[in-house]
Every structure is written in structure tokens, then in C-alpha cells.
């Protein structure tokens, strides 16, 4: 069932991967198209998640809602789903960011119910 929800992201134009990741970097579930998720990318995602949480303390422990990291040809969006679990979307830089973030928020409760 979680794969079905993640697949909703892959049908969006230029989305390459949708993952549910634990804060330690462990991938709980993923759907990918045209991309390989190597260990070094998992490690980088874990670092981004932990550093983002630490940064939130600088803003009075404001809850983290989303992190956006842009590269030359792609970007990564991650958002907390629930304590210690994040939804990570990897897409080409031509993807519609607004559509992706809307779908992330829209599907959050469904993902929580499956964790």
C-alpha cells in the first residue's frame, strides 16, 4: 500500500524517486524511475535530516515542515511525515515544485497510517 502512495509521485512529470526514510538514513520504502539510490546518497539524506532538525532549534524549536536542496540538474525535497520518518522526493530541475509539495502534504496522513 505504501508503494501505491509513493507511485503517485512518480507519475508527476520529471520525478525520479519517492522514498520514506527513517532519520538514520534507512529506506523504509521507495519507488524509483531512472535513478539509483546509493549508500552515499542515503548518508547525505540522513545528514540533511539531522542538520535540519538541529537548525530548527535556532528558530525556537519551530517544527520543520520542508527542506529543499537544489543541484545543477535535479533537486531533493524532504518533509517530515512523523517523528523520525521523512518523505523524500528526488526530481529533475524541470519538475513542478508546487505540485510535488502539494502532493506531499495531501498524502502525509495516508503515509502516517501505514507506518
| Tens of pLDDT, residues 33-55 | 888 888 887 888 888 888 887 88
Does residue 64 carry a pLDDT above 90? no
Domains, the chain, with CATH or none: 2-114 (3.30.450.30)
Does residue 23 carry a pLDDT above 90? no
6: exposed, middle or buried (C-beta count within 10 Å: 0-12, 13-18, 19+)?
buried
Rounded to an integer, the average pLDDT of 8-22 is: 95
Instruction: Give start and end residues of each alpha helix (H) in 11-114.
Output: 39-57, 97-114
Rounded to an integer, the average pLDDT of 75-90 is: 92
Amino acid at each position: 500500500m505504501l508503494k501505491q502512495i509513493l507511485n503517485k509521485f512518480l507519475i508527476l512529470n520529471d520525478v525520479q524517486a519517492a522514498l520514506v526514510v527513517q532519520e538514520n538514513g534507512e529506506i523504509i520504502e521507495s519507488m524509483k524511475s531512472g535513478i539509483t539510490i546509493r549508500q552515499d546518497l542515503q548518508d547525505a539524506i540522513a545528514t540533511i535530516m539531522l542538520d535540519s532538525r538541529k537548525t530548527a532549534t535556532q528558530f525556537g524549536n519551530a517544527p520543520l515542515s520542508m527542506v529543499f536542496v537544489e543541484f545543477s540538474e535535479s533537486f531533493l525535497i524532504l518533509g517530515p511525515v512523523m517523528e523520525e520518518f521523512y518523505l523524500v522526493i528526488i526530481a529533475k530541475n524541470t519538475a513542478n515544485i508546487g505540485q510535488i509539495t502539494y502532493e506531499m502534504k495531501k498524502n502525509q496522513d495516508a503515509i502516517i497510517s501505514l507506518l
